[in-house]
Amino acid sequence: MTAQEVRLCGLLLQEHFGNVVEKVGTHLIRSGVLTLRALAHETKLPLDLVKKSLCVLVQHGMCTFGAGRRGPAGPVEYRINCERVFHMLRYPRYIYTAKSLYGDTGELIVEEILQRGQMTMSSTVKTVADRLTHNMPEGQSMDYSEVVSAFSQLVETHFLQRCPLASAGSSSSGAVDTPLPVATQNFLVINSYDIYSTLSQGKRRRSSEDGEADQCAAKKARTDDSECGDDRIYWQVNFQRFHLHFRDQAIISAVSCKLDQSSSEIVRTMLRMSEVTTPAHAAFTQALSANEIFRALLSSYNIARPILDQYLSLLVDDPMEFVGKTGDSGGGMYVVNLHRALANLARATLESVVQERFGSRSARIFRLLLRKRHLEQKQVEDFAMIPAKEAKDMLYKLLSENLVQLQEIPKTPDYAPSRTFYLYTVNQLPTARLLLQHSYKTVGNLMERRLYETKENKRLLEKSQRIEAILASLQATGAEAAQLTEVEEMITVPERQQLESLRHHINKLDSSENQVDETIFLLKSYINSTQASR
Amino acid sequence: MAGSRGRGRSQFSFSVDALGFGRGDSLPSSAHTPSPLFPPMQFRPVPLHTGEEVDYMLALKQELRASSKNLPFHIKAARTKTDVAHYSDKYQNGETKNNCIEWSPDWSRMPKELCIKVRKPRKTGAKPQLTRKPKVAAGKEEVLQKLETLEKREEEQHSEEEEDEEKKKQNEEEPDADEDYDEEDLEDETDYIMSYFDNGEDFGADSDDNMDEAVY
């Protein structure tokens, strides 16, 4: 774990779970694997607090435990899963995706499960239905079956998965260590028994509450019921599936930017058809024939068969190589080149970063070096058509930022400078890693600045919260306008301006975090794809 | 090699002019300080994305941040006992204690060593209260002491129960500013709003060094 990653993990844990969990978490990340006693001793926290923190982390899937070095007889060892902590940065994106795919019900289901780590289906359905009913106008209530159907849809499309089974013992928890992809097949199946039992319970309870108008009384009755039958079956969010969805979205938007809307619709259809058949780390989707694609195209796109063929050949000829042709049967067999698309997207990100930080001429040099691999200084000046002095300046600046590397090729065994070629080069993968670390540092800086701004204006924020509370309670008890204005005036005009600018700054910082996270996602997917193919 | 050192002595593979300084000149002085903390930027950054999607995700992020503070997963260390016993301690029993956990995890999925006492939830608090009331009614002839102890226990559970009720409300509803106000009033049975109560710990803590005026 790099220093920036540890810092970011610490900030994320602190934001969501407080200082105690942050201390425990960062110490565990730095040390790698620790037992409970060692952890308590080294962090100098009371043992109970450490236990509570570990419970929270295990509940959310951020900490795994297993038999230690001494085997099953020895103490249990704990390890933090850093990637899972970074996913916390992306929660709004997951929830928004669920909303766009499955509506408000799906959004609330995913939000509940994300906030609580893992939940049983019955408790999720209960909570979500209650929340929806609460937001509905008086007299209406949310039917459990709708929530159940949204839940099952999420499971069927693999956005939710079952948690791996944990054995009853503490140290013999080998089942927990099994990597998820191997056993994922079992965890994505929802038993019809689960759905039936939850549904029937829901129906029974609803009929008994039809007579009760009071919401609180209804809640009390529900909590008194015994468990639902799916007591030991927990569900969690399947982050990998969301990431595949984001990757597909990125490819489709890139195609629509580079070519046009219709070609992006064709690529969207191709990706949709191969959603469930393509394994997670595949380099290409399954081959699809042009006939199949034509049949699967929605009629709203209005693309005729010969036009489809033209678009496909256009996509294949495009230098970005999103789509490739693998055969001629069935009107032509086409695949989407996933890994190559990711590499191209990462390359575009790198080029854009250089362009925005150093100017378009430096970006030209950078692109040149990416294409031509190794160039001498003189050749760089010639190919980029930039005067020698400026080219030298830009090259050295890029070199000092580590975006460009120098490769020495000696003519003689002693690396005498007069008899060595010095070639400039750019390696895409190491540069992507470098930018990823920069992005982690950026998000860390943004979060720290936001915390600083909040701390600086804490007094003002508390005052405004108190005044809002007073106003709300006055309005609830039906006060007159004069009293309300009097209370409102307790915040002076300069304070109001300060509050406004504070809100503006915090919104900007939050928005920036979301945007940097998109870059993090792209670069991380690219790096993972190169590792998978090895 | 020694042999070829005489021939073509000062021929480099790149032209010396391109380096930016001539032969015999001293190298430019190296910097002795670390690079500045906020280096000046050559170009202004590109403005952020805008749009409905961006705004919605921003609102989601801020909501999640606010609501996660109220969930039981947000662990706060219990306040260490100060030497002096305060009057307010009697009314602040409901604060978190280190040795109980506020939510009930599935202990079968966790290692046994992490097992910790679960804080009594609201429903079990309600039942004893119901059973106590008939007892109090029936035991009219009981000693006054028993009535007093029962009253005290009722008070504790009542405050505990109301806090759990608030925590549940906070979990299920969108957090809004009403909570602060309600919590302050309902936390205990006094008529006073808790935040107005001053422990008196800050009195005399400020330094008296620069006191030019008299103290009244």
pLDDT value of residue A241: 93
Scan residues 265-294 of A and list those with Cβ closer than 8 Å to B. Answer: none
Measured between CB atoms, which of A56, A91, A419 is closest to B73?
A56
User: What mean pLDDT is reported for chain A?
Assistant: 84
Q: Transcribe A294-321 into DSSP letters.
A: HHHS-GGG---HHHHHHHHHHHHHSTT-
Each residue of B178-190: pLDDT tens digit?
Answer: 444 455 445 556 6
Nearest to A367 by CA among A404, A401, A317: A404
Q: What residues contact residue A76 under an 8 Å CB cut-off, 6+ apart?
A: A35, A36, A65, A66, A67, A68, A170, A171, A173, B111, B113
Residues making up chain A, counted from first to last: 534
Residue-level pLDDT at B195: 65
Q: Which residues of A touch B76 (CB under 8 A)?
A: 18-20
Which of A54, A56, A60 is most worth mutating to test chain B (most B CB atoms within 10 A of its CB)?
A56
The mean pLDDT value for A434-450 works out to: 96
Would you state the structure tokens that stand for residue A178, as one six-digit string?
Answer: 């099994």
Task: Give the amino acid at A425.
Answer: T
Q: Look at the block and give the residue holding tokens 């009390």.
A: A220
Phi, psi of A453 (to 5 degrees): -60, -40
Please indicate if any CB of chain B lies within 8 Å of the CB of A56: yes
Residue A316 sits at φ, ψ, to 5 deg, of: -70, -35
Chain A, window 153-192: residues with a beta carbon less than 8 angstroms from a chain B beta carbon:
163, 166, 168-171, 173
Strands (DSSP E) along A131-233, which ranges? 160-162
pLDDT band at A73 (very low <50, low <70, confident <90, very high): confident
- pLDDT tens readout for residues A224-245: 333 455 677 889 999 999 999 9
Contact assignment for B73 to A223 by CB distance below 8 Å: no
SS3 for B103?
coil
Which is more confident, B120 or A276? A276
- pLDDT digits 0-9 by tens, A135-162: 887 777 778 888 999 999 999 888 998 8
Confidence of residue A281 (pLDDT cuts 50, 70, 90): confident
- B26 DSSP assignment: P
Q: How far is A499 from A385, CA to CA, in rounded Å?
A: 51
Distances (CA, A) of B178 to A468, A488, A527: 8, 16, 47
pLDDT computed for residue B186 by the predictor: 52
How far apart (Å, rounded) are the C-alpha atoms in residues A290 and A297?
Answer: 10
Reported as a pLDDT band with limits 50, 70 and 90, residue A85 is very high
Which among B73, B76, B114 has the least Cβ separation from residue A51?
B114
Angle B86-B87-B92 from CA coordinates, rounded to 5°: 90
- Interface with chain B: mutation pick from A39, A167, A408, A511, highest number of B CBs within 10 Å: A511
Query: Could you give the ipTM of this predicted complex?
Result: 0.83
Q: Which pairing describes strands B100-101 and A33-35: parallel, antiparallel, or unpaired?
A: unpaired
> Average pLDDT, stretch B59-63?
95
CB atoms within 10 A of CB B79: 10
Is B111 in contact with A356 (Cβ distance < 8 A)? no
Chain A residues with CB under 8 Å of B11 CB are 418
What is residue A184's predicted lDDT score, i.e. its pLDDT?
Answer: 38
For chains A and B, what is the number of CB pairs under 8 angstroms?
170
CA distance B178 to chain A (A): 5
Judged against a pLDDT cut of 90, whether residue A15 lies above it is answered with yes
Helix H segments across A421-492? Answer: 428-456, 458-476, 481-488
Question: Is the pLDDT at B207 greater than 90, yes or no?
Answer: no
User: Which domains are present in chain A?
Assistant: 3-80 (1.10.10.10), 85-237 (1.10.10.10), 239-336 (1.10.10.10), 341-426 (1.10.10.10), 431-533 (no CATH)
Long-range contacts of A21-30 (CB under 8 A, 24+ apart): A21/A53, A21/A56, A21/A57, A21/B75, A24/A49, A24/A50, A24/A53, A24/A54, A24/A57, A25/A53, A25/A57, A25/A62, A25/A63, A25/A80, A25/A85, A28/A63, A28/A78, A28/A79, A28/A80, A29/A1, A29/A80, A29/A82, A30/A1, A30/A6
Chain B closest CA to A287's CA: distance in Å? 33
Cross-chain CB nearest to B18 (options A127, A356, A388):
A388
Mean pLDDT value of segment A287-313: 88
Which candidate in B58, B73, B119, B178 is best for mutational testing of the A interface (most A CBs within 10 A)?
B73
CB-CB under 8 Å, A377 with B18: yes
3-state helix vs strand vs coil in chain B, percent to 5:
45, 0, 55
E strands within B49-155? 100-101, 117-118
d(CA A27, CA A24): 5
The answer for A 406-445 residues in CB contact with B (under 8 A) is: 411-412, 414, 417-422
∠ CA A75-A80-A81, rounded to 5°: 135
User: To the nearest 10°, the Cα dihedral for A436, A442, A445, A451?
Assistant: -100
The minimal CB distance from A46 to the residues B18, B58, B98 is found for: B98
Q: Judge if pTM exceeds 0.90.
A: no
**Cβ distance of A417 and B12 shorter than 8 Å:** yes
Q: Which residues of A touch B109 (CB under 8 A)?
A: 58, 163, 166, 234
Pairing of strands B117-118, B100-101: parallel
Q: Which of A11-20, A414-423, B10-19, B76-85 has the highest mean pLDDT?
A: A11-20
Q: What is the pLDDT of residue A214?
A: 35
Please answer whether residues A311 and A303 qualify as being in contact, where contact means their C-beta atoms are separated by less than 8 angstroms: yes
pLDDT band at B6 (very low <50, low <70, confident <90, very high): very low
